[in-house]
Amino acid sequence: MRTTFDLSPLTRSTIGFDRMFRLLDNMSGAGEAPGYPPYNIVKTGDDRYGITVAVAGFGEDELEVKMQDGQLTITSTPEKAEKEDVSYIHRGIARRAFELRFSLADYIEVTGASVDNGMLTVDLVRNVPEAMKPRTIAIGKGKGRKALTSSKAA
């Protein structure tokens, strides 16, 4: 059972939350993961992740990895020209076009992609800016609010 939500009352009174509303809108189909091609998402370190996609039969020039607006897209463009002298008795290695989309959290960056033995690996890292990291403020003895207000009167 699919439930839909009307987010228009919220979008009328907010500014700069477009990405969040787009993510919420797309969540209605969140349980429908694509079955082709199979992929794994792994955590390889504290702030490191990897996506591995089974791309057997595809060449590097037939794959594209693109990052835009916090969304990672992996697409294939298989060559239409097949060898005409080949007659398949069984064709179990699919070479159909696909598109995988991954919504990435803030500060996640793609650091590289490579193909090895029919597996496409996309490396990701979370780089939180220093200004956004938690920091401890030292509390020291000194002048309080009274001392500041009394010095203004002088």
pLDDT in tens, 41-92: 999 988 899 999 999 989 899 999 999 988 999 999 887 655 567 788 898 8
d(C-alpha 56, C-alpha 93), whole Å:
7
pLDDT at 24: 65
pLDDT band at 35 (very low <50, low <70, confident <90, very high): confident
Overall fold of domain 35-127: Immunoglobulin-like (2.60.40)
E strands, 21-131, are 39-45, 48-54, 63-68, 71-76, 99-103, 108-116, 119-126
d(C-alpha 140, C-alpha 135), whole Å:
16
The pLDDT of residue 14 is above 70: no
